[in-house]
Amino acid sequence: MAIAEMEKLSLTFKERHLDEILRLMQGFQGVHIETGYEASIPAAQKEEIDKVIRETEKDLRDIRAARSIIKSREPAKMLSALRNGEEKKLSMAEFLKIVGESDWEKVLEDVISTDRWLQNNRKRRREVTKLRGELKLWESVNSNPLDFGKLQRTSAYFGSVHEKHADEFSEILLKHEDDGVVFEKTLQDGDRAWFFLLCHKGADGMLSRYMNEYSFSIEEYPFEKPQKEAGQELELEEKELLSDEKEINRLIDEQSKYEEILAFAEDYNLNTLLRKKMSLEVAYEDGEIIIEGWIASEGRAKFEKLIAEHITSDDYSLIVTSVKEGDIEDVPIKLKNGKLTAVYERLTLMYSLPRYNEIDPTPVITVFYMIFFGLMVADAGYGFAVFLIGLVVRRFLKVKRSTRSFVDFLYFLSFPIMAWGLVFGSFFGIDLPFGLLSVTVDIIPMMILSLVLGYVHIMTGLVLYMINQAKLRKFFDMASGGLAWFLAFFGGGMMLLAALTPWFGAAVTVTGAVILGLGVAAIVLTPAIQYGKRWFAGFGKGLYALYSATGYLGDFISYARLMALAVAGGCVAMAFNTILSFLPLILKFTLGIVLAVALHALNIGLSMLSAYVHGIRLQFVEFFSKFYTGGGKKFEPFKAAEKNVIISDSADID
């Protein structure tokens, strides 16, 4: 139940070392910086920092766009992504060396320019395809469209009408051949009929009326050369575009290896952005920077050595002091647990971190959460399935830290699931011959088991309350709120045990009654003693405190959910097996296998979801209410972004 010991840090140094010291801290990953000093920044420095922030943010947008471009070019490969999803792990020095040698700015420019070339190529190919379609219409005209504008006594038109008007339009034109109108129906394209028209200038007005009447759509010649030459140029351009596309594809294949470089560049710029934004949060005073914050005691010597190795002693002053009583509320909390317990720190974080002078409940809730979770799922087959999935991911797949943490969370829970499954003799809903309890027969023993576990859980909470109050030197609260109730429940438990079992005699009953009486007396009298001359007020408070027994009773009953969920999951599994048993033999070994996997997978998911939710509820409501206040501030060291690269805390920056 460890909370890392903290010390208060104050680091003063010359302003020119700001970026270097922040980079050292990013590699060290052990200093929680107190912020909120923006008003002390000189205007000139603020303007310069803001400019760098804007430039860095632009670089980040470009890098992310380039990475998206590269990823969009590659087909989705889920298994490959899982196998190679783990972040790289490097020291800060190794990371900076790789980024410095990568020439990422040129890589970024190449990727973006290649993509721009590709998009322009595709756009022009679409335009060329459209122009060739338009040219196809003009190829049906035997005259050079460029000469139309040179005609002095004659007007020329090329256009179309709807096919349903084509014959009628042709008849009208035939009637006016003597008026100097000549036409040719050149082609039919879809629902449009195309015509080439010639007429004397004097007949323009009459022809225009008919063109308007039949919605004749005039087509403008879009080329600067005759049809044949224009077609040859378009064909040549299309060949050049295809050739360019081959070169673009070659560059794309070559640039696929740049994704890692750009990933490193993204982290590099994110780190720069973090430093610059932090530069706006520290205190500036007469050409010096003051950084105040917190550091874990175990890392103090290492940090002092790190600063001394990179900054001359005349340019900085480092003061580290122990935590004072008045600092308790401000101390950030860093939990310090073993490998297994650390996986379940997420449960504590979901509720609230402990205060600096409080107990870390994580180790205790880890034990109880695993017991409760396993009991609520309670099937050896289900546990084995979860175990195998976790084992495969942990051993063979390289996944991100967040994914690995979640997999570990479920992987370790598979063991109590299998253990309780063996106790209940259940394997994918099939009864094993050696089960100690049955989810369909032993309902009452299972209920008793659940309540006994709840009793132990609540008693543990009372013990932790006593430890917390003793640490705070609140001995009266420890006695009335913890010890007294512990004695009352311990004595009551002895009496109940003697009444329900044949192994204990009257002596146990009497002893339990005495302990129960002492507990009740302590609940009532301790506040009276605490209040001194106002003992009557304390006595009334003690009497009122006895009403809390009803709340404890409700808490004990809540643990019946352990039995209820175990029975529900087990019965659903058996029901699925019963349904599958009615299938004909040939279907059992075909469709039946698929259904069995699907149905039991569904039940595993629902059972584990229920166990997850109700297990958390028992911790947060029934358990934490007995001893835990929380409200601690998380220890958030200034560190590298670590989006794509995990930086080790060796802080070996050259």
Nearest C-alpha neighbor of 616 from the set 351, 338, 343: 351
Which pLDDT score, from 0 to 100, does residue 85 have?
Answer: 59
In the prediction, which pLDDT does 649 show? 61
DSSP 297: G
pLDDT, one tens digit per residue, over 6-55 is 999 999 999 999 999 999 999 999 999 988 766 678 888 889 999 999 99
Say if CB 341 and CB 363 are below 8 A apart: yes
| CA geometry: angle 436, 437, 443, nearest 5 deg | 160
pLDDT of residue 298: 92
Q: What is the structure's pLDDT at 323?
A: 92
Q: Give one word for 403, left, alpha or beta, with left for phi > 0 and alpha for psi -120 to 50.
A: alpha
Please tell me the number of Cα atoms within 13 Å of 112 on its side-chain side.
14
Give the model confidence (pLDDT) of 423-481 as tens digits: 999 999 998 988 898 888 889 999 999 999 999 999 999 999 999 888 888 888 888 88
What is the model's pLDDT at position 9? 94
- Asked if pLDDT for residue 86 goes beyond 80, the answer is no
Which pLDDT score is estimated for 39? 64
Instruction: State the average pLDDT for the chain.
Output: 89
Determine the pLDDT at residue 652: 44
The residue that leads in pLDDT, 170 or 535, is 170
Output the pLDDT for position 654. 40
Query: In the predicted model, what is the mean pLDDT of residues 555-581?
Result: 91
**What's the token pair of residue 269?**
């710029």
Could you tell me if 22 and 278 are in contact, meaning their C-beta atoms sit under 8 angstroms apart?
yes
Q: What integer pLDDT is reported at residue 106 of this predicted model?
A: 93
Instruction: Give residue 382's pLDDT.
Output: 95
526-557 per-position pLDDT tens digit: 887 877 777 778 778 778 778 778 888 888 89
Plot region of 508 (φ>0 → left; ψ -120 to 50 → alpha; else → beta): alpha
pLDDT-derived band at 78 (thresholds 50, 70, 90) equals: very low
SS3 182: strand
What residues contact residue 284 under an 8 Å CB cut-off, 6+ apart?
15, 37, 40, 41, 42, 45, 290
pLDDT band at 242 (very low <50, low <70, confident <90, very high): very high
Higher pLDDT, 68 or 83: 68
pLDDT at residue 522, rounded to an integer: 85
Find the range with the poorest average confidence among 161-165, 325-329, 367-371, 500-504: 500-504
Q: Most confidently modeled of 168-172, 416-420, 550-554?
A: 416-420
Instruction: Please give the angle made by the CA atoms of 113, 114 and 116, to the nearest 5 degrees.
Output: 60
For 374, the 3-state DSSP assignment is: helix
Q: Residue 390: is its pLDDT beyond 60?
A: yes
The predicted structure's pLDDT at residue 1? 53
Question: Which of 143-147, 154-158, 523-527, 569-573 comes out lowest in average pLDDT?
Answer: 523-527
Write phi, then psi, for 41 (nearest 5 degrees): -80, 130
**Separation between Cα atoms, residue 131 and residue 135, nearest integer Å:** 6
Strand partners, 321: 8
What confidence score (pLDDT) does residue 563 get?
Answer: 93
Q: State residue 18's pLDDT score.
A: 93
Closest CA to 576 of 594, 609, 603: 603
Place of tokens 């595993």: 604
The mean pLDDT value for 408-426 works out to 95
Q: Residue 431, SS3?
A: strand
- When pLDDT is cut at 50, 70 and 90, the band that residue 583 belongs to is confident
Residue 428 DSSP SS3: coil
User: What integer is the mean pLDDT of 406-416?
Assistant: 95
**Residues 620-631: pLDDT tens digits?**
999 998 899 888
Q: Is the pLDDT of residue 80 over 80?
A: no
Q: Look at residue 483 and tell me whether its pLDDT is greater than 60.
A: yes
Q: Provide the percentage of residues in the chain whose pLDDT is more than 90.
A: 56
Q: Which CATH number fits domain 145-225: 2.40.160.10, 3.90.78.10, 3.30.70.100, 2.40.160.20?
A: 3.30.70.100
**Residue 322 pLDDT level (bands cut at 50, 70, 90):** very high
- Residue 387 CA from chain centroid, whole number: 23
Of 413, 339, 439, 386, give the one whose Cα is nearest residue 612: 413
What SS3 class is residue 615?
Answer: helix
Q: Could you state, in order of their start, the residue ranges of all structural domains in the chain?
A: 2-103+255-333, 145-225, 337-447+531-626
244 confidence band (pLDDT: 50, 70, 90)? very high
Q: Phi/psi of residue 162, each to 5°? A: -65, 145
Identity of the amino acid at 490: F
Greater pLDDT, 315 or 202: 315
Mean pLDDT, residues 90-119: 91
Question: CA gyration radius for the chain?
Answer: 40
For the chain, the first-to-last Cα distance in angstroms comes to 38
Q: What is the pLDDT of residue 136?
A: 87
Distances in Å between the alpha carbon of 297 and those of 5, 291, 292?
6, 17, 15
